[in-house]
Amino acid sequence: MSYKIYQIDTEFMKSDDYIHHPIRNIQFRNGMDQKFIDENFKAEFIRIYKNVVDVDLSSKEYDLWDLYRILNVHEHEVYVAGSGELEDRYEDILSNYETSEKHPDMKLFASLSIGDIVYDEEESKYYILGNDFFDITEKLPEYVDNLVDGILIDPFLKKITNVKVKNDLKDFYRHLDCNMVEVVSFGDVNDLWVDEEGLLKGDQRFFKVSDLPFGHHGVIAGKALLLKCGDNGGTESTTLDIHEVTSRISWDFEHNGKLYNSETGLFNHFEIIGSGIVKTIDKPRDIDPRLRHKSRVVGKQKKPEVI
């Protein structure tokens, strides 16, 4: 059995909108039963949740309460073939979770608690945790059917997060804080949706992606949304795990003889003299705009054109 765990976005919980949001009636409700869920959980609430971790229990039949126990005691003991001894395989069953920048061993998801949502991939059903696990799948079709799983890369917060996105441009704009988008191939079947006017904006932040195809230098201005390029030209959920993406992202980097500082947003000329570095400070958008790549579709592949 494979599961996706959704918890209320911690960034949303820091906002003023959270203080008066009706989801709090569910989070802090004792004795939450099916009737209460039917009356109080709204389909649009799914937008304030984020996929915080995936759990793979496919090696054995487990139910949702087994999942609850594993995530709350943080262990998953299994018998090892041959020796007959128990081993904790908790780390092996987890994937697609964020970690703390300061403490890389710290996983940024909480134990399962009231109001959390579990998606059972085998049954294609969503459950919310209350007195029991209540099936809310039928409440979500108008939202779920048009939602895709993406990965948001945010150089302002220096965070890479799983997000659910409506499969339309307006929601792409909302996630990217922009009015125009362009597509950069991430490689294989995945694309980066980025702000087409990113280099024109002041107080901008950048990041660099390694190993982009078609000779792209990898420097991206502003936020980016990673999604799969659909077989018919549309967009689908990304095929990548957040850890596969994180390893290719740099917040501080060298480009065209300049060092980018993620704290200031400045590209600095540098010259190495002995063991020291001498810098002169430039404006953030002094990155050469001629090096900006815009992807265009050629058949089923994307090739960059320099503009």
Residue at 280 is within a domain:
no
- The pLDDT assigned to 188 comes to 85
pLDDT tens track for 191-219: 999 999 999 998 899 999 999 998 899 99
- Say yes or no: 151 and 297 in one domain: yes
26 and 139 together in one domain: yes
CB 19 within 8 A of CB 27: no
Cβ proximity of 225 and 165 under 8 Å? yes
How many domains in the chain? 2
* Residue 265 is assigned to a structural domain of this protein: no
Distance CA 39, CA 42 (A): 8
Instruction: Kindly write down the DSSP assignment for every residue of 180-246, as one continuous string.
Output: -EEEEEEETTEEEEEETTGGG-SS--EEEETT-STT---EEES-EEEEEEPTTSSEE-----HHHHH
Tell me the average pLDDT of the chain: 84
Indicate if 108 and 126 belong to the same structural domain: yes
Q: Is 60 exposed, middle or buried (0-12, 13-18, 19+ CB in 10 A)?
A: exposed
Is position 266 within any domain?
no
Final residue of a structural domain among 144, 175, 194: 144
Q: Which residues of the chain are under the pLDDT cut of 70?
A: 58-60, 142-145, 270-307
pLDDT in tens, 221-258: 999 999 999 877 789 999 999 989 999 999 999 998 88
The verdict on 162 and 127 lying in the same domain is: no
- The token pair that represents 100 in the structure block: 């703390």
Say yes or no: 32 and 81 in one domain.
yes
N- to C-terminal Cα separation, the chain? 48
How many whole angstroms from its chain centre is CA 278?
37
Q: What CA–CA distance (Å, rounded) separates 293 from 279?
A: 27
CB of 271 closer than 8 Å to CB of 257 = no
